[in-house]
Structure 1
Amino acid sequence: MNNIIETEGLSKQYGNVYRVKDVDLSVPEGAIYGFLGPNGAGKSTTLKMILGLTKPTAGAITVFGKRVNSKNRLENLKHVGSLIESPSYYGHLTGAENLRIFQTLRGVPKQNIADVLKIVRLENQQHKKVSQYSLGMKQRLGLASALLGYPKLLILDEPTNGLDPAGISEMRELIQSLPQKFGMTVVVSSHLLSEVDQLATRVGIIREGELVYQDSLTKLHQYSKQHLAVRTLNNEVTKAFLSQNGVTWEAEDDYLIIPQMRDTRMAEISKALGQNNIGLVRIEERKKSLEDIFLELTGTAVSL
């Protein structure tokens, strides 16, 4: 599968501080790529460099198989739609009038206006002034402007920011439909783990400007292997007993975390603990949640 976006050693430095450092992104064609990280991790800066809105300090960017430079940047952007931060609009104009301005500037067919309004479900509010739009309607209008040229690549920076649950669900459905309906590749940045989990096919996680994970969402879920949590009346003696019997363990609060095993094997260990006068108080089956994995990778609490 071809990659629509590839970056090599992409970096952005302000003074002595790196906002983005040595990021190697690979976004496959037809994917919904979830670009995930806490606020301030470098997501927006990375996307702005890909779009040519910010000049990299170092590194290379390849889009549609071509190395991006000052000469071909505008040509590349003809095939890219984007919604970075809050959407731009003229509040005193209607939704349709706003889109007419973008349509004229981009030189795309006028019919596209009616088409994208239907895609984002704003056809019944197109003649209403944008100043009277709800936040969700403004976000959908921003998405409509990004879709006007039916781009091959769509880049959306925090598209669900500020939306209520119904608005988030609606935006998610819209984004999910785009690759299959129009053959688009979509990059969605978010600090909302739960949102990316329901939306993306591939995910990149950035922490303090550095890419700490990049692969399929399925593989990320595989990190959440089941394990057992054991609590006894004498955990210190239990540690030695487990080690002597070839069972690995990690201490976590009042529990010892051991690998998942067959019931018969656990029964043997329980019996042996009793025979050694080690009182077994509790056995729990546990599994790392996706939130726990995110916390380990980013070192920060996850937004849900």
Structure 2
Amino acid sequence: MAYNAIEIQGAVKHFGPTRAVDGVDLTVRTGELFGLIGHNGAGKTTLFKMMLGLLPPTRGDIRIDGQPVRGDAFREVRRRIGYLPESLALYDNLSGLEIMQFFARLKNADLASCLPLLEKVGLADAARRRVRGYSKGMRQRLGFAQALLGSPRLLFLDEPTNGLDPQGIREFYQLLRELREQGVTALLSSHILAEIQLRVDRLALMKTGKMQALGTVAELREALNLPLDFQLTLAPGAGESLQRALAGQPAASVQLDKDTAHVRCPREHKMALLHLLTNLEDSVVDLQIREPSLEDVFLGYSDAA
């Protein structure tokens, strides 16, 4: 029988008078790459720990791979889960390979898989070096490698690219894509919104413990109806003619800077503005349309009441 990887209904977590998680409903499909974003203190890490069974919910139902996190059957589900916390504690006197072997024994994973996993995350040459000599990015790679022990079917990754350089980030997401093609579900939290914008299938935005928005980046963008930004390169001295042409477009706002212009307009006026600008071919040398970024979407929802 097929299950959604994650099913949450009405999850609540209190810490005294504080509601860290406040009535969250969420479904993550099997094989999905799912992003979780929100301000510091929004409840993301608390929700992670509840899904892992590390924190019991005050109220609500959480099921992972079809099993409730409170049930005895969840012990077996845990063997199919990989977890990379935001801050992973490592033993500096041990080598990377020894760290992997330590976690493999805890997870009852195959010790022979440790070195290949280190090779997969780019740590083959540092496998036998003590962790105290690892850079922040190398430690993060090691943390990701330990999350992959036991061939997990579900990954929980909290700020997984913290400390990675651009090449490391690219390799991380390439590996995630390969795992997704094998049916692995990954739920990741990140503050680097531009990084996950084109890489997740769907995402959820949390605010003060509540699920404020859920969907693809395009769906969240359209729900806010944020304006489009037309970036124009103008012919010399064409600024005045552009302003005159746009005088009949009350929905558009223009900002001129020498031979460049930024024109903002609602999405529903996009084609009309394009038609107008096409007729100004002697004035407009080049044109780019900038869609609202995930950061724009995030700030739009965060500023909403």
Do the structures match in fold with TM over 0.5?
yes
Pairwise CA distance, 1:163: 3.1
AA matched with 1:144: A
Pairwise CA distance, 1:15: 1.8
1:167-246 to structure 2, matched below 5 A, reads: 167-180=168-181, 182-222=182-222, 223-224=225-226, 226=228
Please, what TM-score do these two structures have when normalized by structure 2? 0.77
Q: Is the Cα contact below 8 Å between 1:13 and 1:20 reproduced in 2? A: yes
1:292 lines up with 2:293 in the alignment: no
1:262 lines up with 2:264 in the alignment: no
Cα deviation, 1:72-104, whole Å, max 9, x if unaligned, reads 332221110101121232110111111111112
1:1-304 to structure 2, matched below 5 A, reads: 2-180=3-181, 182-222=182-222, 223-224=225-226, 226=228, 259-260=269-270, 262=272, 287-299=291-303
Structure 1 portions without partners, runs of 5+: 229-241, 268-284
Q: Is the Cα contact below 8 Å between 1:227 and 1:260 reproduced in 2? A: no
Pairwise CA distance, 1:261: 5.1
Q: Which moved more, 1:195-204 or 1:28-37?
A: 195-204
Alpha carbon RMSD of aligned pairs, Å? 3.2
Alpha carbons of structure 1 residues 75 and 123: separation in structure 2 relative to 1, 3 Å: same
Give me the whole-angstrom Cα distance separating, in 2, the residues matched to 1:264 and 1:109: 59
Pairwise CA distance, 1:226: 3.6
AA matched with 1:217: V
Cα deviation, 1:1-20, whole Å, max 9, x if unaligned, reads 85200100111112222111
Alpha carbons of structure 1 residues 221 and 2: separation in structure 2 relative to 1, 3 Å: farther
Pairwise CA distance, 1:256: 9.5
Give me the whole-angstrom Cα distance separating, in 1, the residues matched to 2:203 and 2:98: 36
Secondary structure of 1:111's aligned partner:
helix
AA matched with 1:43: K
Give me the whole-angstrom Cα distance separating, in 1, the residues matched to 2:212 and 2:173: 25
AA matched with 1:175: L
Give me the whole-angstrom Cα distance separating, in 2, the residues matched to 1:44 and 1:264: 44
Structure 2 portions without partners, runs of 5+: 231-247, 256-262, 278-288
Pairwise CA distance, 1:197: 0.7
Residue-pair matches, total: 268
Secondary structure of 2:82's aligned partner:
strand
Please, what TM-score do these two structures have when normalized by structure 1? 0.77
AA matched with 1:14: F
AA matched with 2:272: R
